[in-house]
Amino acid sequence: MGESAKPQPTLELVAARAGVSRATVSRVVNGSTKVSAEVNEQVNKAIAELKYVPNRAARSLANGRTNSIALVIPENAAKFFSDPYFATVIQGAAMYLADTEFTLTLLIATEADPAKTGRYLRGGNVDGALILSHHSDDRSYVELAGSLPMVFGGRPMSDESGELHVVDVDNVAAAITATRTILESGRRRIATIAGPQNMGAGQDRLQGWHDALEAVGLATDLIEFGDFTPPGGEAAMISLLDRGVDIDGIFIASAQMAFGALKILHERGIRVPEDISITTVDNDSYAQSASPPLTTIEQPAERQGAMMAQLLVKLIAGGEVPERTIINTELIKRGSH
């Protein structure tokens, strides 16, 4: 007869070898910070000696968890890789989750089959989802929130009930502050390059610019629209200048568009800030490397990502979290106004 198979080491055997309780071994395996360094070393030594492999699949079945969280980007791959905002939010979420049992799975929604991501999320592959970048067609994610713990980064366009869990900045207030900064420099013919109006941030920043000018009785007719990218800023700036109207200030709804707009202004010999004062939103590499560097509203994307992850973990555990969490912004003054 052949030799009988050697039994697989168990949690109990590891506990006996390390001289600790089964619960303590479980804490070490799950990465708990409530175990002393000495005990942690004892348990890991026993795990190595016994060649114990934690049966994570069995644990997941037992508690109904996958220990996985999806971070969903409903944008095409080109937009994702070119926009530093996404990388910073992901970094914040990943850093927070590093101290938990959860792993982060990045999903870039496919344009060819938009429902594919929804099917994945509904398929029991993750315990919850973080959703970034929202358009007017985001209803599928809003509807999914009723059956899967979800936290949204930014205001979803389809959130008619206001009952979703959202972490955002006050984009209206950010735009008001940026526009007032131009007003304080004595400018009075102030235009805007607004973002896409199928996105909450695009709508809210246009509203803030409008409110700031209306409050002091100035015209609100100088509006061009872009797509939050440098080429979009270039095209909008060309359209604005080709109107032939005197402009001495522009609030631009994103630093990427402002970066593109500056290129056109330089080409046409228009000086910033001497001839036109510019303010924007996002304190990213575009704002910092522009010439001149851009006066901007910093929205702390890393903190947003960490807060989103923190709230989602609490939701998954059955905890109560606020429906709206607003993160403070900061005006960063530089040379463009």
- List the pLDDT tens digit at each of the 337 positions of the chain: 444 445 667 888 888 999 998 888 877 876 666 788 888 888 888 887 887 766 544 445 455 678 999 999 877 767 777 788 888 999 999 999 998 989 999 988 766 666 778 878 877 889 999 998 777 666 777 778 877 899 999 888 776 666 789 999 999 999 999 999 999 999 999 999 999 998 889 999 999 999 999 999 999 999 999 999 999 999 999 999 999 999 999 999 999 999 999 999 999 999 999 999 999 999 999 999 999 999 999 999 999 999 999 999 999 988 999 999 999 999 999 999 9
Burial level of 328, CB count in 10 A (0-12/13-18/19+)?
exposed
CA dihedral for 41, 42, 45, 46, sign (positive or negative)? negative
| Contact (Cβ atoms closer than 8 angstroms) between residue 301 and residue 286 | no
The number of beta carbons lying within 10 Å of the beta carbon of residue 235 is: 20
Q: What is the CA radius of gyration of the chain?
A: 25
Helix (H, G, I), strand (E, B) or coil at 203: helix
| In the chain, beta strands by DSSP E | 68-73, 103-108, 128-132, 150-153, 166-168, 190-194, 223-225, 249-252, 277-281, 295-298, 324-326, 330-332
CA distance 335 to 182: 12
Whether the ω angle into residue 230 lies within 30 degrees of 0, i.e. cis, is no
Burial profile 168-198: b = 16 or more Cβ within 10 angstroms, e = fewer: bbbbbbbbbbbbbbbbeeebeebbbbbbbee
**Residue 39 contacts residue 20 (beta carbons within 8 Å):** yes
- Alpha carbons 50 and 226: distance in angstroms, whole number: 61
> With a threshold of 0.75, does the pTM exceed it?
yes
Q: Where is 90: in which H helix or E strand?
A: helix 84-97
Beta strand pairing status for 68-73 and 223-225?
Answer: unpaired
What does the block give as tokens for 30? 């799950």
Contact status, residue 252 vs residue 181, Cβ threshold 8 Å: no
Nearest Cα to Cα of residue 152 among 302, 309, 327: 309
In this structure, which amino acid lies at residue 302? E
